[in-house]
Structure 1
Amino acid sequence: MVEALACGTPCVVVTLGGMPELISTEHTGKICAANTLSVNEAIQVALNNEAIPCFSSSCSEVYLVDTFDHHKSKS
């Protein structure tokens, strides 16, 4: 998942497990309920990334570095 996010691939995850912790709905993908209708709708939004302009590799990279880079000092 992290590798896909680093490449700027919008990811769709369901609300089960730990994957929602990796997703920022403004930057890296969609979090949806664990049912086929919600997953289908989230995939359509992710594929039509004009609807959410920040689904891009540059936004994903900034989000991942800001959130998960252990070299950055955390205040």
Structure 2
Amino acid sequence: MCTIIIQGIPVAADSSLPQEQINQLVSELKQTWTWEGRQVGRIEIICAGPMIHLLAYEPPVFQRIPLKHSESKGANQ
């Protein structure tokens, strides 16, 4: 497996696949996800015999939510 960046997406791909095929799979997946209103965070492409497994992940979402003053006082006691 080698990891490369294609269209701004980290892609871990099986080294036995030709680069043209990897580029095509990434383009098709990105187009499908864009159509669905989703964003691709990273992709894994794995060969398993005659099959290719394409795993796609959305980027993680992080939120900061401030504690209310009374909740933060209770946590310190």
TM-score where L is the length of structure 1: 0.29
Q: Specify which structure has the bigger relative contact order, considering alpha-carbon pairs within 8 angstroms and separated by 6 or more residues.
A: 1
TM-score when normalising by structure 2: 0.28
Instruction: Decide which structure has the larger Cα Rg and report it.
Output: 2
The answer to which structure has the higher helix fraction is 1
